[in-house]
Amino acid sequence: MSALDEGHFNVELENGVNLGCTELGIEEEADSIAIQDAVKVLLQGLGEDINREGLRKTPLRVAKALREGTRGYRQKVKDIVQGALFPEAGLDNGVGLAGGAGGLVIVRDLDLFSYCESCLLPFQVKCHVGYVPSGQRVVGLSKLSRVADVFAKRLQDPQCLANDVCSALHQGIKPAGVAVVLQCSHVHFPEIESVLLDSNHQGWVKVLVSSGSGVFDNRNAEEWTDFFSLLKFRGINMEKTNIRGSRNQCWCPSRSSVSAKSSSKTEPVNPVMVTAVASILRSLGEDPLRKELVGTPSCFVNWLMNFQSSNLEMKLNGFVCRRKDSLHPGREVNKKKEICSELNLPFWSQCEHHLLPFHGVVHIGYLGSEGFIPIGKSLLQSIVHFYGFKLQVQERLTRQIAETASSLLGGDVIVVVEANHTCMISRGIEKFGSSTATIAVLGCFSTDPAARAMFLQSIPSAKT
């Protein structure tokens, strides 16, 4: 029972804020333990030591994040909406439409996240919900957000999420109609085999979906025109929206790469790991045999194996020996020095604390002598990818890139890593829009604030 006790203790420590699940029931406790066991299997499958410090509590963290991220399975919409319907007179229908009768109400720009049912990665949702009241009743505005959140906190597909939110609100409010528009962004990591070749890889797959009921049932209804008019200046274009119902094309980039690979790739997916993921699905209250979930465990394992600790090892051997002095023996390096830099090198990594992706850009600065031939961008990019495709933390990634770059670039190196962490949005804190920056400085950059400032000021504003 000591494992159980420690687990429980850790939930409280990790949580800090009591988020309502500190006191797990016996059943929830069993589900949490089952997920933790499965995560241990996955970590071992990656060749990791599950007892090393950074990973020791990872199974607990993953279990907690997954259960919280799928709490929508345990919530009832009816309770949320019923308590917040208010009588509101509205205009006489013969004269006009407003208030409790016929006047469109829209809540825009609700930030949500959900879990992709195809690959188990979280995806971000910018949600816009509207409805046309009837029966002289309006609903509390926050309830539109709460209901959307109930369905987002499940394993989802964008169109399915839009449909779920739309019909739940329609049943709950009984309005003249409900309209839902979702802008969904799914992180899209490049394949580890092709990452060095594909320099223009796009980091996100984006999709815009909509769903309508009642007066919004007809996609050409004038109510949709009103709705989109009020979203238009939020950067949404009506013509680009997918129509309800077309769920055949899977948007998930992991899934499409699996099918593309299945013919070429010979390495089979580790069946023990696949079984572990299926058991996680069951512990979350899902049916691993549901049509949309059948391929999910192997898809997730496939993706996870990108971060096997031994990946790209050979490529490292390729560059650690290419030191500058060995490349240019006898060359005089003590001429006037200037700051050279490579900015915005993309990286892709996996947070070892939560098994969730983080990605962003690396900026590398170094001192080059006059007439010095700068190190190729592609070599620095290789170093970045080498340390990225691992179970990582950003601080270590920054240091490792700096150390390796330093051995190539002569000791005076500054490295800045800017990243978006999925674990900052898809867990309790839900800090959409936050970003993290880390710095490593070597040689003169650690002693000369002016050199550091000059490089830092050359970093362009982050793209959003």
- Which residues ranging from 387 to 416 are in contact with a copy of itself (CB under 8 A)? 393-396, 398-399, 402-403, 406, 413, 415-416
- Residue 13 as a binder of a copy of itself (CB under 8 A): the answer is yes
Task: Calculate ∠ Cα 325-330-333, nearest 5°.
Answer: 65
Residue whose CB is less far from a copy of itself, 38 or 104: 104
Distance CA 143, CA 77 (A): 9
- Residue 79 as a binder of a copy of itself (CB under 8 A): the answer is yes
* Binding segment (CB under 8 A) for a copy of itself, from list 193-201, 284-292, 370-378, 446-454: 446-454
Q: Closest separation between CB of residue 197 and a copy of itself, Å?
A: 30
Question: Count residues contacting a copy of itself (CB under 8 A)?
Answer: 104
- Residue 226 as a binder of a copy of itself (CB under 8 A): the answer is yes
- To which residue do tokens 């340390």 refer? 387
Q: Which of residues 196-225 bind a copy of itself (CB under 8 A)?
A: 222, 225
- Residue 6 as a binder of a copy of itself (CB under 8 A): the answer is no
Q: Determine contact, residues 184/342, Cβ cutoff 8 Å.
A: no
- Residue 285 as a binder of a copy of itself (CB under 8 A): the answer is no
Q: Closest separation between CB of residue 79 and a copy of itself, Å?
A: 6
Q: Is 70 exposed, middle or buried (0-12, 13-18, 19+ CB in 10 A)?
A: buried
Member of 4, 30, 141, 294 binding a copy of itself (CB under 8 A): 141
- Residue 233 as a binder of a copy of itself (CB under 8 A): the answer is yes
- Residue 51 as a binder of a copy of itself (CB under 8 A): the answer is no
Q: Closest separation between CB of residue 7 and a copy of itself, Å?
A: 12
- Residue 338 as a binder of a copy of itself (CB under 8 A): the answer is no
Q: Closest separation between CB of residue 128 and a copy of itself, Å?
A: 9
Q: Closest separation between CB of residue 80 and a copy of itself, Å?
A: 3
Cα atoms in the Cβ-side hemisphere of radius 13 Å centred on 420: 18
- Residue 268 as a binder of a copy of itself (CB under 8 A): the answer is no
Q: Determine contact, residues 408/379, Cβ cutoff 8 Å.
A: yes
Secondary structure of 130-159 as H, E, C letters = EEECCCCEEECHHHHHHHHHHHHCCEECHH
Member of 2, 3, 5, 16 binding a copy of itself (CB under 8 A): 16
- Residue 73 as a binder of a copy of itself (CB under 8 A): the answer is no
- Residue 17 as a binder of a copy of itself (CB under 8 A): the answer is yes
- Residue 439 as a binder of a copy of itself (CB under 8 A): the answer is yes
* Binding segment (CB under 8 A) for a copy of itself, from list 230-238, 273-281, 312-320, 321-329: 230-238
Q: Closest separation between CB of residue 100 and a copy of itself, Å?
A: 7
Residue environment code for 161-199, b if the CB has 16+ CB neighbours within 10 A, otherwise e = bbbbbbbbbbebbebbbbbbbbbbbbbbbbbbeebeeee
Q: Is 65 exposed, middle or buried (0-12, 13-18, 19+ CB in 10 A)?
A: buried
Contact pattern for a copy of itself over residues 346 through 385, marking x by CB under 8 A: -------x--------------------------------
Measured over all CA atoms, what is the biggest interatomic distance in the chain, rounded to whole angstroms? 92
Q: Closest separation between CB of residue 82 and a copy of itself, Å?
A: 7
Residue whose CB is less far from a copy of itself, 289 or 453: 453
Task: Please tell me what DSSP assigns to residue 239.
Answer: G
Member of 116, 284, 441, 451 binding a copy of itself (CB under 8 A): 441
Q: Is 43 exposed, middle or buried (0-12, 13-18, 19+ CB in 10 A)?
A: buried
Dihedral Cα 319, 321, 325, 328, nearest 10 deg: -70
Q: Closest separation between CB of residue 258 and a copy of itself, Å?
A: 30
Closest listed residue to residue 394, CA positions, set 432, 365, 431, 354: 354
Q: Closest separation between CB of residue 264 and a copy of itself, Å?
A: 37
Q: Could you tell me the end-to-end alpha-carbon distance of the chain, in angstroms, rounded to an integer?
A: 47
Alpha helix (H) ranges present in 221-270? 222-232, 253-264
Secondary structure of 59-87 as H, E, C letters = HHHHHHHHHHHCHHHHCCHHHHHHCCEEE
Member of 8, 14, 37, 288 binding a copy of itself (CB under 8 A): 14
- Residue 430 as a binder of a copy of itself (CB under 8 A): the answer is yes
Distance CA 186, CA 132 (A): 31
- Residue 436 as a binder of a copy of itself (CB under 8 A): the answer is yes
